[in-house]
Chain A
């Protein structure tokens, strides 16, 4: 299992999980915050509303009470008020004043008693007096009997809606008449199969109803209770309650039904939590409420003072009231119900009811549907992801910007959906999460970076010096220079920089070395003669192309050595000087500083015009071949120590030989004694036999690859390298290697084995004996044709005295065109030659 580190992402996760738990459990401080923003959004939303619902409020306001007298007014006055309203032909009249008790008037009782007595004692007084007295008493009783007046007025009112209160205490048992009448106001329930129990209505224990005689006049009955939230603000309307087995509407719902012409008994309640009102429907929350969508501050509806109406001060009252919904309610301070709302500190209950009524009629509510929760969850997750993966990876400024943008997006989403769609997204959770997460992560970073800053400032020179040295020791020279640059250049720093420059030189990064020198020169122009070095380095930097022989810019000389002050390196080897150049690359004298061993380093140039993939394959093969050649351990085969790559130069480090190759002995003027020639070939054949037994074919046997050391030892060099480079260095029209020594099968491009080396060795033997090559085409094409098809001129014809008959046979067999006719093993050739050697005249 892998290890992880407690980082910003874990911290972000932690904070997010906490807030997710808050979110799922409706954590009350955040809920409170959410309600505040709810109110704020509500204020924004209601500014956009233009069409008020057709409601007129007849307010028994402070003005009315001042002019008419203290509340409660005699019911007769209400009756007059209703009569005035009815005269204007409104469509619906809602009387938001509850008369649950008969009016008690001691005078009236006395009059009724007197009238009764008069009736009982009619015969005792004169008929005239009786009539007069009786009529006057009846008039007085009628004038004082406000309840009857009201009852009459109510009966005259079109589409009358009366209120009731529900209470949580148990009220007195209703009389049977009441029960019958009440049941006529109950709603119709519709069972929504499979979706029952999704909402929980209020279940009051008792109802306070209008007097039976009043109730009998009403077409609709609605509850006038309002339900503030825990913070005292009214945000929701509960449009129905459950009493006993039946459901009854709220005042606003009853009014809406009256307005829409839906009989109260036809208001349908679906058990899934929806009210159907003709075509209108009201979605309900689980507490059977809906969120009130306010129209604006106090007096967003048309208000008419009751006093003005009674005293006929309203011109064109018919226009104001005609066809409208008229709500009669008390708004006077101290008497009426005033409640806090999102849009006003105190709003008369009657206006709140008017608002809820308007919402139902217009079908617009602040709503949350089943998907809202998932939107909110998605916002939480986005913020979580940002905190876990985004914020920690951003720089301070960018992090703040990104957080700000995310915050704005969240706020915009919350405000836009609320104001334009009436959709209430609880954005407080993601917003608070974002702010809290940001603070936690940034403050953590702040503390740590502050601490770091403190530390670094405390000793920044030493710190940077130590860091620079550490980077330098790890070969991270650029990072080391970056650190050293931050230090003032004192004597000690000059020395450090100087050493760094030398390291750059060793890596042959001359321009960077020059940059370091120039940095020293800003304070000390002549330090250790660096001014001169910089000049040299610039020249070298421009002309140096390492390991590429035959190049145009550096056609001559040992470029590697020129100018460079510090010994250059290839891998772990120090390059001392150039030894020579071949077709494939340059050979350098190198030194392994660890064991102070001199080595020959052969660099190999690969063609540049291959793509990267191909180059990879070629290099892989190079190292594989070098590795297998490195396995050979034979006194007459050069030892390979190492192969590697440095700055795009591949190299092979091998045994350093002190001697010369056989090239010059293949010249007629310099021929070696026959005996010596045979000895050399025998040695080479045995070395080849060993290599072949290891499965390694040389592929490029020629005089140049056979060395005679100063002590006379023979060494075969360049094992397998022909193949390595043959694959990479095939320029068009050129066959690399040395065609003169190639076997027919090699030319044909077939898979070659040790017998190919035997052919080449035969050619070498021929050449060393005669001083001529067996195949000498004037062009490569001719040469290749000869090797495959023609037998060479007999060696004996060229040098009769140097080629005994027995050797001629060996030559024929070694250079047979058909591999099967050839020596099958190099050892056989060696054995034959040894016999020839024995036959030679001493």
Chain B
């Protein structure tokens, strides 16, 4: 299986600063997207911290330089790789939380994160997320959202209180029910999926998913172009729809 990984970010058409941050590691087969929040540029600090720390620790794990799982024992129900992912994200949570506590300008900063790590030997992708940045699996004939948004409207929707359409126009749709760095401990959602050749993974900030419908996103993967080209096209499309928020995408293509 051949893997092509690329990421791109864009400030969008409305915002003046980019609070998103991403990292892709083509040699280690992982991708990260974070969307920061907090005033005085603290959102940028938080998303960068999250991505940097998760990336650095994932690399340590993957190279065998780190064995310990942050904050306790590994979860036996999860693969080793998923544990690496959760551990790194929890560590980032604590680092951001403590950094925010000592920096008045960064008080209450936080960030979302979505991460995907491919175990190339087993063709299993571990996907972890906190917040409303999403991961999608694009199969031959369909697109599937792998993550659940940690937003209040999503919870309302899950409880059947509101419909998907109402959720999309809810005035509280930007309120997160979970985020990285705002509390001393965080629950990370993890999911493992078998990936087949020809299936792709997309990570994105809400700047993309709020601008384009899932089916529209799906269409961008119907070409044989490299990951970078697809990422650029997705960003262009979101900008054409208004680019109301920072747009960040990270793409993993298999062939």
Q: Which of A5, A449, A471 has the most CB of B within 10 A?
A: A5
Chain B residue numbers with a CB within 8 Å of A3 are: 35, 37, 110, 112, 131-132, 174-176, 179
Asked whether, in the complex, the Cβ of B37 is within 8 Å of the Cβ of A474, the reply is no
Some 19 contacts from A to B, beta carbons below 8 A apart, are A1-B245, A3-B131, A3-B132, A3-B174, A4-B175, A4-B176, A5-B175, A5-B177, A5-B178, A7-B183, A452-B185, A455-B71, A458-B72, A462-B68, A466-B57, A466-B70, A470-B56, A473-B52, A474-B52
Chain A residue numbers with a CB within 8 Å of B56 are: 470, 473
Q: Nearest residue in A to B173 (C-beta to C-beta)? A: A1
Chain B residue numbers with a CB within 8 Å of A451 are: 185
Chain B 9-62 interface residues, beta-carbon cutoff 8 Å to A: 35, 37, 49, 52-53, 56-57
Is A463 an interface residue when CB atoms closer than 8 A count as contact?
yes
Give complex CA distance A456, B182 in Å: 18
Q: Nearest residue in B to A454 (C-beta to C-beta)? A: B72
Q: Which of B92-100, B138-146, B226-234 contacts A (4 or more CB under 8 A)?
A: B92-100
Is B223 an interface residue when CB atoms closer than 8 A count as contact?
no
Chain B residue numbers with a CB within 8 Å of A463 are: 70-71
Chain A 435-478 interface residues, beta-carbon cutoff 8 Å to B: 448-449, 451-452, 454-456, 458-459, 462-463, 465-467, 470-471, 473-474, 476
Asked whether, in the complex, the Cβ of A470 is within 8 Å of the Cβ of B72, the reply is no
Give complex CA distance A5, B178 in Å: 7
Asked whether, in the complex, the Cβ of A5 is within 8 Å of the Cβ of B53, the reply is no
Asked whether, in the complex, the Cβ of A6 is within 8 Å of the Cβ of B174, the reply is no
Q: Nearest residue in A to B95 (C-beta to C-beta)? A: A470
Is B91 an interface residue when CB atoms closer than 8 A count as contact?
yes
Chain B residue numbers with a CB within 8 Å of A594 are: none
Q: Nearest residue in B to A455 (C-beta to C-beta)? A: B71
Q: Nearest residue in B to A458 (C-beta to C-beta)? A: B72
Is B73 an interface residue when CB atoms closer than 8 A count as contact?
yes
Is A479 an interface residue when CB atoms closer than 8 A count as contact?
yes
Is A553 an interface residue when CB atoms closer than 8 A count as contact?
no
Q: Nearest residue in B to A471 (C-beta to C-beta)? A: B95
Give complex CA distance A370, B37 in Å: 45
Give complex CA distance A474, B50 in Å: 11
CB distance from B205 to the nearest CB of A (A): 11
Is B242 an interface residue when CB atoms closer than 8 A count as contact?
no
CB distance from A447 to the nearest CB of B (A): 10
Chain B residue numbers with a CB within 8 Å of A6 are: 152, 175-178
Asked whether, in the complex, the Cβ of A474 is within 8 Å of the Cβ of B49, the reply is yes
Asked whether, in the complex, the Cβ of B175 is within 8 Å of the Cβ of A449, the reply is no
Asked whether, in the complex, the Cβ of A448 is within 8 Å of the Cβ of B185, the reply is yes
| Residue of A459, A465, A470, A479 touching B71 (CB-CB under 8 A) | A459
Q: Nearest residue in A to B152 (C-beta to C-beta)? A: A6
Chain B 159-187 interface residues, beta-carbon cutoff 8 Å to A: 174-179, 182-185
Give complex CA distance A449, B97 in Å: 14
Asked whether, in the complex, the Cβ of B52 is within 8 Å of the Cβ of A455, the reply is no
Give complex CA distance A462, B90 in Å: 13
Q: Nearest residue in B to A465 (C-beta to C-beta)? A: B68
Q: In the complex, given contacts A1-B245, A474-B99, A479-B102, what are 6 additional A-B residue pairs having Cβ atoms less than 8 angstroms apart?
A: A5-B108, A6-B152, A449-B184, A452-B185, A455-B71, A458-B71
Give complex CA distance A583, B17 in Å: 40
Contacts A5-B37, A473-B53 given; indicate if A452 touches B184 (C-beta within 8 A).
yes
Q: Nearest residue in B to A459 (C-beta to C-beta)? A: B72
Is A2 an interface residue when CB atoms closer than 8 A count as contact?
yes
**Binary interface encoding of chain B residues 174-202 relative to chain A, with 1 for a CB under 8 A from any of its CBs, else 0:** 11111100111100000000000000000
Chain A residue numbers with a CB within 8 Å of B37 are: 2-5
Give complex CA distance A479, B101 in Å: 11
Q: Nearest residue in B to A1 (C-beta to C-beta)? A: B174
Asked whether, in the complex, the Cβ of A462 is within 8 Å of the Cβ of B99, the reply is no
Chain A residue numbers with a CB within 8 Å of B108 are: 5
Asked whether, in the complex, the Cβ of B91 is within 8 Å of the Cβ of A466, the reply is yes
Give complex CA distance A448, B97 in Å: 14
Q: Nearest residue in A to B155 (C-beta to C-beta)? A: A6
Contacts A455-B72, A458-B72, A479-B102 given; indicate if A474 touches B175 (C-beta within 8 A).
no
Chain A residue numbers with a CB within 8 Å of B174 are: 1-4
Give complex CA distance A3, B246 in Å: 13
CB distance from B158 to the nearest CB of A (A): 14
Give complex CA distance A462, B177 in Å: 29
Q: Nearest residue in B to A473 (C-beta to C-beta)? A: B56
Chain A residue numbers with a CB within 8 Å of B102 are: 479
Chain B residue numbers with a CB within 8 Å of A462 are: 68-70
CB distance from A427 to the nearest CB of B (A): 32
Q: Nearest residue in B to A448 (C-beta to C-beta)? A: B185
Identify the B interface with A (CB < 8 A): 35, 37, 49, 52-53, 56-57, 66, 68-73, 91-92, 94-95, 98-99, 102, 108, 110, 112, 131-132, 152, 174-179, 182-185, 245
Identify the A interface with B (CB < 8 A): 1-7, 10, 448-449, 451-452, 454-456, 458-459, 462-463, 465-467, 470-471, 473-474, 476, 479
Q: Which of A1, A458, A465, A466 has the most CB of B within 10 A?
A: A466
Chain A residue numbers with a CB within 8 Å of B179 are: 3, 5
CB distance from B157 to the nearest CB of A (A): 15
Asked whether, in the complex, the Cβ of B91 is within 8 Å of the Cβ of A476, the reply is no
5 cross-chain pairs, A with B, having the tightest CB-CB distances, nearest first: A462-B68, A455-B71, A3-B37, A458-B72, A4-B175
CB distance from B196 to the nearest CB of A (A): 35
Give complex CA distance A456, B98 in Å: 14
Give complex CA distance A1, B177 in Å: 16
Asked whether, in the complex, the Cβ of B72 is within 8 Å of the Cβ of A5, the reply is no
Q: Nearest residue in B to A10 (C-beta to C-beta)? A: B175
Chain B residue numbers with a CB within 8 Å of A471 are: 95, 98-99
Give complex CA distance A458, B90 in Å: 15
Chain B residue numbers with a CB within 8 Å of A7 are: 182-183
Asked whether, in the complex, the Cβ of A459 is within 8 Å of the Cβ of B68, the reply is yes
Contacts A448-B184, A451-B185, A470-B56 given; indicate if A479 touches B72 (C-beta within 8 A).
no
Q: Nearest residue in B to A483 (C-beta to C-beta)? A: B98
Give complex CA distance A533, B110 in Å: 40
Chain B residue numbers with a CB within 8 Å of A473 are: 52-53, 56
Chain B residue numbers with a CB within 8 Å of A10 are: 175
CB distance from B179 to the nearest CB of A (A): 5
Q: Nearest residue in A to B87 (C-beta to C-beta)? A: A466
Contacts A458-B73, A463-B70, A474-B52 given; indicate if A479 touches B99 (C-beta within 8 A).
yes
Give complex CA distance A3, B72 in Å: 30
Give complex CA distance A448, B94 in Å: 13
Contacts A455-B72, A459-B72 given; indicate if A5 touches B110 (C-beta within 8 A).
yes
Give complex CA distance A473, B92 in Å: 12
CB distance from B61 to the nearest CB of A (A): 11
Give complex CA distance A96, B94 in Å: 78
CB distance from A803 to the nearest CB of B (A): 61
| Residue of B52, B68, B112 touching A466 (CB-CB under 8 A) | B68
Give complex CA distance A73, B130 in Å: 86
Chain A residue numbers with a CB within 8 Å of B183 are: 7, 448
| Residue of A452, A456, A470 touching B53 (CB-CB under 8 A) | A470
CB distance from B247 to the nearest CB of A (A): 15
Asked whether, in the complex, the Cβ of A470 is within 8 Å of the Cβ of B91, the reply is yes
Chain B residue numbers with a CB within 8 Å of A476 are: 99
Give complex CA distance A3, B132 in Å: 10
Chain A residue numbers with a CB within 8 Å of B73 are: 458-459
Give complex CA distance A3, B42 in Å: 13
Chain A residue numbers with a CB within 8 Å of B69 are: 459, 462
Give complex CA distance A452, B112 in Å: 20
Give complex CA distance A763, B91 in Å: 65
Chain A residue numbers with a CB within 8 Å of B68 are: 459, 462, 465-466
Q: Which of A6, A454, A467, A476 has the most CB of B within 10 A?
A: A6
Give complex CA distance A473, B48 in Å: 13
Give complex CA distance A467, B57 in Å: 11
Give complex CA distance A2, B102 in Å: 23
CB distance from A833 to the nearest CB of B (A): 52
Give complex CA distance A448, B183 in Å: 9
Q: Nearest residue in A to B70 (C-beta to C-beta)? A: A466
CB distance from A398 to the nearest CB of B (A): 16
Give complex CA distance A735, B248 in Å: 54
